[in-house]
Chains A and B, each alone.
Chain A
Amino acid sequence: MILHFILNSKPVSKDLDPSRRLIDVLREDFLLTGVKEGCGEGECGSCTILMDGLPVHACMVLAGQLDGHRLLTIEGLSASGELDILQQAFIENNAVHCGFCTPGMIMAAKGLLLQNPDPTEEEIRTAISGNICRCSDYRQIVMAVKDAAARLRAQGGAR
């Protein structure tokens, strides 16, 4: 099935098996391995990407459903060669330990900041409540998101 969609700001037309999961397509066909598979059942959030600006699990989307949609993965955040403010904030706030959950965590935070540039701590915690980190400290992650939000507001909003 030929599918047409936008992937990391670029239009894509590709012949894909529609019954495959989006996570497999992204990792195997597009080599976007920042999309991690943790649980494969929507519990851990490691495969979070943005679909039309909203955080979703890439393990919960079928390739055949992609027509007309806009996808953004962690790789798309730094497509220009510069790290996104969120990525920079995660590094500077020591919010990355093993790093497996980090892409999903950042994409969940990205989805929040696109809708709400000035979130409260409770809103940040709710936004990342579906993303599990087993080796870091959620306080540093929350601090990183707060920090990124403040920097984005200073620049005039999320991009």
Chain B
Amino acid sequence: MIFTVPKTLEELQTALANRSERFVFAAGCTDILPKKLGKPWEVDEIIDLTHVPELQTIGTGPQTGDYFIGACCTHAQVAADPEVRRHYTALAQACEQIGSVQIRNRGTIGGNVANGSPAADTLPCLMALGAEIEWIDGVCIKGFWLPGAQAPSAGSGTVVSAFAKLGDRDIVTIARISLAVRSVLRGGRYTNTAVVVGAASLQPFFCDEAAAVLDGSQPGEVDREAFAGALAKAIEASIPNRPTMPYKRSAVRGPAFDVLERLANFEH
């Protein structure tokens, strides 16, 4: 077994260029170690990503005002970051609900995305917030760029966002349904809204019909039933033959109402 520990981006690029055919990245290990439990490694090389400082940085880019979150930032780190809490609230709300304290102290945002679980909590948030992935040599996620709070899409308005999920219990739970909403408050009304449904089917998806319910509405005066109804229809269409469809179609009302309440209570 080769265990490679790059300490710089250059060393990581060298490691990627020379990597074994069967390799795995290791960061928080909250996915790879449970999957491996009781079995031998099925790879020839482990590339550790936890000692590359650039993958753990979080902050504003030098020119665009966009916000960078390194792939190896832990969920706890993202949830506690003041700028994320202020401008990318949905992501902070998702990260502070992931797993337990121990999981949040180890699990990384890059791992949450790369693992690709249908129930991944950060995915719908990153989609709703318009995040872009920066890659290293097309193989490894370096991090995520979030549009700056003053980005053109926000115009003269205020970007607001919220996240809610439904699981088997209130905390330390895996999402059955998750919702991320991002909108721009302009003239006291929601505009340019994006709604993403997670965990309902294999991949998160945008729900334009639900977004349309919000657009033009004032916070606290959104037609909640129409919003939940649009989400229910979208879930029905996304998993028509799955046994859990009737449950999820009905249960989406819970996170739908929660996310609207959180959005309305948004405070900068």
Contact = CB atoms under 8 A, between A and B. Distances in A.
A15 B25 CA distance: 22
Given A40-B37, A41-B33, A62 B46 contact: yes
Contacts of B76: 54
B151 interface: no
A130 B37 contact: no
A127 B102 CA distance: 9
A60 B28 contact: yes
Contacts of A56: 102, 105-106
Interface string A36-76: 00001110010010010011110111101101100000000
B48 A64 contact: yes
Contact of A59 (B33, B46, B50): B33
B3 A1 contact: yes
A67 B5 contact: yes
A111 interface: yes
B172 interface: yes
A130 B173 CA distance: 10
B102 A42 contact: yes
A18 interface: yes
Interface string A113-131: 0000000000000110111
A109 to B, nearest CB: 11
A82 B94 CA distance: 41
A73 to B, nearest CB: 14
Contacts of A21: 33
Contact of A130 (B3, B5, B99): B99
B33 A60 contact: yes
A42 B34 contact: yes
Contact of A54 (B5, B30, B105): B105
Contact of B171 (A57, A59, A65, A126): A126
A9 interface: no
B1 interface: yes
A145 interface: no
A108 B38 CA distance: 26
Contacts of B29: 60-62, 65
A40 B30 CA distance: 11
A94 interface: no
Interface string A1-43: 1000000000000000111010000000000000000001110
Contacts of B106: 56-57, 60-61
A4 to B, nearest CB: 12
Contacts of B133: none
A55 B101 CA distance: 7
A129 B169 CA distance: 11
A108 B102 contact: yes
Given A1-B3, A61-B106, A41 B46 contact: no
Interface string B9-43: 00000000000000000101110011001100100
B99 to A, nearest CB: 7
Interface in B63-77: 76
Q: Considering residues B3, B26, B28, B30, which has the most beta carbons from chain A within 10 angstroms of its beta carbon?
A: B3
Contact of A45 (B28, B100, B171): B100
A126 B170 CA distance: 11
A25 B231 CA distance: 48
21 contacts: A18-B46, A19-B3, A19-B46, A21-B33, A42-B102, A42-B103, A45-B100, A56-B105, A56-B106, A60-B29, A60-B106, A61-B29, A62-B3, A64-B46, A65-B50, A65-B51, A67-B51, A108-B102, A126-B171, A127-B101, A130-B101
Interface of A: 1, 17-19, 21, 40-42, 45, 48, 51, 54-57, 59-62, 64-65, 67-68, 108, 111-112, 126-127, 129-131
